[in-house]
Amino acid sequence: MSRVYRICLIEGDGIGHEVVPAARHVLEATGLKCEFVEAEAGWETFERRGTSVPEETVEIVKSADATLFGAATSPTKKVEGFFGAIRYLRRRLDLFANVRPAKHHPVKGSTPGTDLVVVRENTEGLYVEQERRYAKGKVAIADRVITYDASYRIVEYALKLARTRRKQLALVHKANVLPLSDGLFLEAAYDAAKHYPDIQVSEVIVDACAMRLVRNPQSFDVLVMENLFGDILSDLTAGLVGGLGIAPSGNIGEQAAIFEPVHGSAPDIAGKGVANPTAAILSAAIMLDYLGEHETARRIEKAVDITLEQGPLTPDLGGKAGTLEFAKAVAAAL
C-alpha cells in the first residue's frame, strides 16, 4: 500500500494560476496518491484580504507533506502593510535550505552534461536586512551575519543530498578576504563533514567558482554556500541550463517544504494560457524527491525531456502550444 501525500497548492499571482494546475495535471498522471489542498498567498490575496499570507495558509503549509507554489507578484513601489509571500513563509517556517538543481534539458542554450545542485543558506548572511547610514548619509553599512549553527545545518543538509548523488560537495566561500565570517562557515562545514567520510569535500572561492561554472559546469555535483553567493550563483546555474522557464527550486526546513519555479508571476503574459509550465512541473518532480519518491521524480523529468524534444512547445521555446497542452503532452509521455 502506497501512502497518500497531502500536497498544498498555492497558485499565487499571474502565471501561477496557469503553471500550478499544469503541474497538478502531471502529478495526477503519475498514479501517485495525492490529496490536494489549495491555499492562497501573494499580491491578489493582499488586495482581497489585507495580508499576503493569511494565517490559515501557514497552517495548511505546515500540515501538508509538501507545498507547490506558483509565483507571487511584488509591487515595485512600497505598499503599506505588504510583505513578500515567499520571503515571509521562508522566515516564518524556518525554511533554511534553498535548493536549486541545474540539470541539462534539451532546450536552446542548455549546457549538456550539467547536473548540479546549488544549496543556498536561506536565513542569514546579508539578508538579515540590517543596514545603516552614517556620516550625514555618505557612508552605508550592511551587516552580513554568519553563524556556526546555521552554517553547520546547511552544510549537513548538502552532505546528505550529496550522499544521494555523486558524493561530491564543493564549499563555496571567500575566506581569503573574510577570514572571520567565511572562516567560521568553513569551520562549521568541516565539523559537519567529519560525520560524512564518504563524501568528497572540496573548497572553491566564490569568484573562481563563477568562472568554473561557466567553463566546466560538469565538474560540479553539489555546491553549498551562504545566502548572497547562493542568490547570485543559482541564477547563473539556471542560465546554464536554459533559463527561467525551466528552473525549479525548493525551500526546505524541518517542519515544512515549499517548491516553486525560479521565475516570477510574468504579468506580461499572465492570463493568456501560454506560460511554459516546465519549471513548475520540474519543481513538482523535486518535491517528489523530497518525499522520497525518486523513481516517479525521474519519470517526470524523463517525460519533460521527451516533450521538450518532440514538442509541442510553448511560445517562449518557439512553439505554439498552450500551458495545458504542454502539460498534457508530458502526462502522455509518462
Report strand pairing: 248-252 vs 97-103.
Answer: antiparallel
Q: Which of the residues 303 through 332 are near ligand ATP (CB under 6 A)? A: 316
**Shortest separation between residue 102's beta carbon and Mg ion, angstroms:** 18
Contact of residue 41 among Mg ion, ligand ATP, none (CB under 5-8 Å per partner type) = none
Q: Is 182 a catalytic site residue?
A: no
CB closest to ligand ATP, residue no: 264
CB nearer ligand ATP, residue 109 or residue 292: 109
**Shortest separation between residue 86's beta carbon and ligand ATP, angstroms:** 10
Which of 167, 235, 290, 302 is labelled catalytic? Answer: 235
What phi and psi values does residue 122 have, to the nearest 5 degrees? -110, 0
Contacts of 168 (CB under 8 A, 6+ apart): 162, 199, 200, 202, 220, 221, 222
Q: Is 149 a catalytic site residue?
A: no
State the DSSP H helix or E strand holding residue 301, giving kind and residue range, or none if neither: helix 294-310
**Shortest separation between residue 71's beta carbon and Mg ion, angstroms:** 8
Which of 33, 94, 148, 207 is labelled catalytic? Answer: 207
Q: Is 136 a catalytic site residue?
A: no
**Shortest separation between residue 267's beta carbon and ligand ATP, angstroms:** 6
| Strand ranges for the chain from DSSP E | 5-12, 34-39, 66-71, 97-103, 115-121, 131-134, 139-142, 168-173, 200-205, 222-225, 248-252, 257-261
Q: Which of the residues 36 through 75 are near ligand ATP (CB under 6 A)? A: 71, 73-74
The alpha helices in the chain, defined as continuous H runs, are 16-29, 43-49, 55-63, 85-92, 148-163, 181-193, 206-215, 227-240, 278-290, 294-310, 323-333
Residue owning grid cell 507533506 = 65
- Alpha-carbon gap, residue 125 to 184, rounded angstroms: 12
**Shortest separation between residue 280's beta carbon and ligand ATP, angstroms:** 7
Q: Is 174 a catalytic site residue?
A: yes
- Separation of first and last alpha carbons in the chain: 21
CB nearer ligand ATP, residue 159 or residue 303: 303
- Alpha-carbon gap, residue 137 to 134, rounded angstroms: 5
What phi and psi values does residue 294 have, to the nearest 5 degrees? -65, -40
Say if residues 68 and 10 touch (Cβ distance below 8 Å): yes
Which of 5, 13, 103, 127 is labelled catalytic? Answer: 127
**Site mask for ligand ATP (CB under 6 A), range 252-281, x = bound:** -----------xxxxxxx-----xx--x--
Contact of residue 269 among ligand ATP, Mg ion, none (CB under 5-8 Å per partner type) = ligand ATP
250 binds ligand ATP (CB under 6 A): no
Which of 231, 289, 305, 316 is labelled catalytic? Answer: 231
Please report, as ranges, the residues that interact with Mg ion according to CB under 5 A: 264
Residue 123 amino acid letter:
T
CA torsion sign, 221 to 227 to 229 to 235?
positive
3-state secondary structure of 44: helix
State the DSSP code for 325.
Answer: H
Q: Is 127 a catalytic site residue?
A: yes
CB nearer ligand ATP, residue 113 or residue 267: 267
CB nearer ligand ATP, residue 74 or residue 181: 74
Q: Which of the residues 18 through 37 are near ligand ATP (CB under 6 A)? A: 19
Which of 115, 152, 167, 174 is labelled catalytic? Answer: 174
Site of interaction with ligand ATP (CB under 6 A) = 15, 19, 71, 73-74, 244-245, 263-269, 275-276, 279, 316
Catalytic machinery residues: 127, 174, 207, 231, 235
